[in-house]
Amino acid sequence: MEERLKTGTTTVGIVCKDGIILAADMRATAGNMIVDKKAEKVHIITDDFALTIAGGVSDAQLLIKLIRAELKLKEVRTYKRPTAKEAANLLGGLLYSNIRRMSMLPGIVHFLFAGKDVYGLHLYDLFPDGSVTKVRDFISSGSGSVFAYGVLETQYHPDITTNEAIELAVKAVNTALQRDSASGNGIDIVVINNKEIKQVMHKELTYKL
């Protein structure tokens, strides 16, 4: 059987009463080798939308370029900004087309997609098969997600604020970093609220002998 390089990561999305948090670690791997210690896994793609990536890097990079172009094109054609649901479904369509073109599975991407529109704030789980699921509390993806979920399940509550959720995201990702060798090196966090999308943390972890 053909051996394939496996990728790993830990990403987290948290719905708060005053915003949405997206977080991810900063390690990129190929099999047992760490190929990048400063990988960018949380991307702000427009003034309204941001996403996290878990999976094949080349596919993720291409799909991010495509969704940026599609969203801009839709805005030009309709003379209005796309809603979060429209944007998530556009990306879901790209994922569906991407995986259906593959005779094998060399590259698969799992996105957590968040954004703001006239209807409020939204978080979606976009699975590699193109399915789009609305998330109403929290979500995690990647090889470290099983560890992150343990923290999120016990400490999340519906009235959580963005400041509290930042601390929770740090705990969740840090827990995964301790147990998942494919996750590590640091954490990126982006906050989405009704006014803006901004990066609030870009913290590298250093290891001393």
Which residue numbers are catalytic?
9
Contact 197, 47 (CB under 8 A): yes
Q: Which residues, listed in sequence order, are joined to residue 120 by a DSSP beta bridge? A: 117
Q: How far apart are CA 86 and CA 72, in angstroms?
A: 12
